[in-house]
Protein backbone atom coordinates (compact mmCIF):
# COMPACT_ATOMS: atom_id res chain seq x y z
CA UNK A 1 0.00 0.00 0.00
CA UNK A 2 1.32 3.40 -0.93
CA UNK A 3 -1.25 5.03 1.38
CA UNK A 4 -2.03 8.64 0.51
CA UNK A 5 0.18 10.19 -2.14
CA UNK A 6 0.39 13.83 -3.17
CA UNK A 7 2.06 15.55 -6.06
CA UNK A 8 3.89 17.81 -6.46
CA UNK A 9 5.92 18.13 -3.24
CA UNK A 10 6.79 21.75 -3.94
CA UNK A 11 5.31 24.34 -6.27
CA UNK A 12 5.87 28.03 -6.94
CA UNK A 13 3.15 29.94 -8.75
CA UNK A 14 2.72 33.51 -9.86
CA UNK A 15 -0.38 35.41 -8.81
CA UNK A 16 -3.24 34.61 -11.15
CA UNK A 17 -1.93 31.26 -12.33
CA UNK A 18 -3.99 28.13 -11.89
CA UNK A 19 -2.88 24.63 -10.99
CA UNK A 20 -4.08 21.30 -9.66
CA UNK A 21 -2.71 19.55 -6.61
CA UNK A 22 -3.05 15.80 -6.99
CA UNK A 23 -4.08 13.38 -4.26
CA UNK A 24 -4.55 9.64 -4.55
CA UNK A 25 -5.12 6.81 -2.10
CA UNK A 26 -5.04 3.07 -2.62
CA UNK A 27 -6.86 1.99 0.53
CA UNK A 28 -10.37 2.10 -0.96
CA UNK A 29 -11.30 4.88 1.45
CA UNK A 30 -14.61 6.60 0.84
CA UNK A 31 -13.79 9.77 2.70
CA UNK A 32 -11.15 12.21 1.45
CA UNK A 33 -10.37 15.76 2.43
CA UNK A 34 -8.01 18.65 1.81
CA UNK A 35 -6.49 20.78 4.54
CA UNK A 36 -4.17 23.74 4.51
CA UNK A 37 -1.63 24.23 7.27
CA UNK A 38 -0.51 27.72 8.19
CA UNK A 39 1.81 28.69 11.06
CA UNK A 40 -0.09 29.20 14.30
CA UNK A 41 -3.40 28.13 12.79
CA UNK A 42 -3.24 24.36 12.73
CA UNK A 43 -4.98 22.59 9.88
CA UNK A 44 -8.08 24.03 8.30
CA UNK A 45 -10.44 22.03 6.15
CA UNK A 46 -10.83 23.26 2.57
CA UNK A 47 -13.08 20.67 0.91
CA UNK A 48 -14.07 17.10 1.56
CA UNK A 49 -15.73 14.20 -0.20
CA UNK A 50 -17.70 11.30 1.24
CA UNK A 51 -17.55 9.26 -1.95
CA UNK A 52 -17.19 9.41 -5.70
CA UNK A 53 -19.33 12.19 -7.13
CA UNK A 54 -19.99 13.82 -3.74
CA UNK A 55 -18.07 16.83 -2.48
CA UNK A 56 -18.74 19.63 -0.03
CA UNK A 57 -17.09 22.72 1.38
CA UNK A 58 -15.09 22.92 4.58
CA UNK A 59 -14.04 25.96 6.59
CA UNK A 60 -11.98 27.78 3.95
CA UNK A 61 -13.20 26.79 0.47
CA UNK A 62 -12.88 30.13 -1.34
CA UNK A 63 -10.48 30.03 -4.28
CA UNK A 64 -10.44 26.25 -4.49
CA UNK A 65 -12.39 23.65 -6.47
CA UNK A 66 -12.55 19.90 -6.09
CA UNK A 67 -14.11 16.98 -7.89
CA UNK A 68 -14.23 13.26 -7.14
CA UNK A 69 -14.73 11.17 -10.22
CA UNK A 70 -13.15 8.03 -8.74
CA UNK A 71 -12.75 6.62 -5.24
CA UNK A 72 -8.97 6.86 -5.53
CA UNK A 73 -8.41 10.44 -6.65
CA UNK A 74 -9.32 13.80 -5.14
CA UNK A 75 -7.59 16.70 -6.93
CA UNK A 76 -7.62 20.24 -5.55
CA UNK A 77 -7.72 23.06 -8.09
CA UNK A 78 -6.55 26.60 -7.49
CA UNK A 79 -8.47 28.72 -9.93
CA UNK A 80 -6.43 31.94 -9.76
CA UNK A 81 -3.60 31.73 -7.25
CA UNK A 82 -3.19 34.49 -4.67
CA UNK A 83 -0.35 35.10 -2.17
CA UNK A 84 -2.82 34.27 0.62
CA UNK A 85 -2.86 30.71 -0.70
CA UNK A 86 0.79 30.23 0.15
CA UNK A 87 0.59 27.29 2.50
CA UNK A 88 1.26 23.59 2.99
CA UNK A 89 -1.59 21.48 1.68
CA UNK A 90 -2.41 18.06 3.09
CA UNK A 91 -4.76 15.49 1.66
CA UNK A 92 -6.26 12.93 4.01
CA UNK A 93 -8.48 9.88 3.69
CA UNK A 94 -10.38 7.54 5.94
CA UNK A 95 -12.53 4.48 5.57
CA UNK A 96 -15.83 6.10 6.45
CA UNK A 97 -16.69 9.62 7.55
CA UNK A 98 -18.35 8.51 10.74
CA UNK A 99 -17.66 5.79 13.23
CA UNK A 100 -14.31 5.03 14.77
CA UNK A 101 -12.20 6.06 11.84
CA UNK A 102 -8.63 7.23 11.57
CA UNK A 103 -7.54 9.75 8.99
CA UNK A 104 -4.41 9.02 7.02
CA UNK A 105 -2.48 12.02 5.78
CA UNK A 106 -0.40 12.46 2.66
CA UNK A 107 3.13 13.97 2.76
CA UNK A 108 1.94 17.45 1.82
CA UNK A 109 2.48 19.97 -0.97
CA UNK A 110 4.31 23.18 -0.13
CA UNK A 111 2.91 25.94 -2.32
CA UNK A 112 4.34 29.43 -2.67
CA UNK A 113 2.46 32.11 -4.57
CA UNK A 114 4.49 35.17 -5.49
Partner 1 sequence: AQSVSQHNHHVILSEAASLELGCNYSYGGTVNLFWYVQYPGQHLQLLLKYFSGDPLVKGIKGFEAEFIKSKFSFNLRKPSVQWSDTAEYFCAVRTFSGGYNKLIFGAGTRLAVHP
**Binding flag, residue 2, partner 1 (CB under 8 A):** no
Dump the DSSP string for 13-74. Answer: E-TT--EEEEEEESS--SEEEEEEEETTTEEEEEEEEEETTEEEE-S--TTEEE--SSSSB-
Q: Closer to partner 1 at the Cβ: 19 or 105?
A: 105
Q: Which residues pair with 57 in a beta bridge?
A: 47
What is the DSSP pairing of strand 104-105 with strand 42-51? unpaired
Figure out which of the listed residues 1, 2, 28, 102 binds partner 1, where binding follows CB under 8 A: 102
CA angle 71, 73, 76 (to 5 degrees): 130
Site for partner 1 in 31-50 (CB under 8 A): 33, 35, 40-45, 48, 50
**Binding flag, residue 89, partner 1 (CB under 8 A):** no
CB of 82 to partner 1, least distance (A): 22
List residues near partner 1 by CB under 8 A: 33, 35, 40-45, 48, 50, 56, 58, 90, 92, 97-98, 100, 102-103, 105-108
Amino acid sequence: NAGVTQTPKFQVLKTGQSMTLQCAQDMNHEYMSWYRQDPGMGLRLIHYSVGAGITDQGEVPNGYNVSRSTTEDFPLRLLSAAPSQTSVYFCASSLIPGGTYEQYFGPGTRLTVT
